Structure 1
Amino acid sequence: MLGSGPSATEARQWNSEYWTHLVAINNAWRVRSDWDMCIFPEDLPVERRPSTLSPAQQLVEADDFVPVQNQFGGVVYAGGTMAFTAAYWALGALQPDVMAFFGCDLVYPASGPTHFYGQGTPDPLRDDVTLQSLEAKSARLQLVAAAQGCACVNISEDESRLVFPRARLEALTEMNPVEFDQDTFEAIKARENALGYYVDSGRYWECVDRFDAEALAEIDALWLDAPVR
């Protein structure tokens, strides 16, 4: 899972033997030409999308990722930013054993470049009821992935809002999903279901008045507190 963080260009030097699929998020397709999927939201300008594709490459848009993300509870609980949306799509569509994240640390320096291409908008930091805790959303992703038999790891060495274990690129095949308490996991999912913040279209901003920020923050806290080992 390749994002657009300032260090993303380091991935240009990597040997592709270490992964089966390279999923480029938003502008990250510009880092390497051998990406397999490029995933982006509806509002990414056309001029910033790939214009030419090889026969093996695929564009993943809202019509593709919204139904898959809905299988895992939907965008309100997953978090309304593309790092998480892309991950849930990959989890459902590709069914990986390991999802390794790079350039997805969701940390934006006060000065200097915020993205590998220079200054960009720090989308995950916007005032959004689904993004009150990026750490909690990553904790949820880690457990949902583990329940599918998939490990989430961070191969960046930078400061990160992701709570995943760190890993080396060449050691990805050695990584296993975190172990977690199934009863706790099911209880938190039940809280989500009871709250009922499900938006089939994925366009949650059109009905944001439905959502209680405090109730979502309580669920965030449960994901953060869920024990893993």
Structure 2
Amino acid sequence: MPANWKNKGKYFLYKNKHRIFYRREGSGSVLLLLHGFPTASWDWHKIWPSLKEDFELVAPDFIGFGFSDKPLRYQYVILDQADLVEQLLDHLQLREIHILAHDYGDTVAQELLARFLEKKASALKLTSICFLNGGLFPESHQPRLIQKLLISPLGPLLTPFLSKAMLKRNFSKIFGPDTQATDQEIDAFYDLIQYNSGTQVFHKLIRYMA
């Protein structure tokens, strides 16, 4: 499933060296889709066909995620992910956008919104933003045990033991009772994490919660 998604995507170079995957399709107003942790732009595959009927869709994989590069010696921070999004949109010569964001993507979208409200901090014009299932208010966010462990000094020691069964167990707690991920979807999510030796940087990606 993700292989088909990848085959329809493209890459652009971020900071002249990091290959960043993205999908672009459809026509109309531009809708930027920002994915969650620990997945990728493939998050949107089920609603992609209907959305592209009304919008020009742009969906990147953040650096460290999905089919994008996952450099070992890298500071994975939200400010940098927002820079990445701005550079991608500049590369595509897109200025006026709507944003649909989920989870980790919410935090990136909040940074983009802050820059837009500061006027001079961004060339983007944000027409609307929809936040889905994210920790918008840090003081009320309750991370799960596995997230706390990954943030802790134990994080680098735990990532080699990240298994498909562990992923399924934790995903079952955040999916709805009637929308549980299938075994095939768990396989796909796990493959996306593993791609480009992703487990080696997995613990670094979650530091945005710290």
Higher strand share: 2
What's the TM-score once normalised by structure 2's chain length?
A: 0.31
What's the TM-score once normalised by structure 1's chain length?
A: 0.29
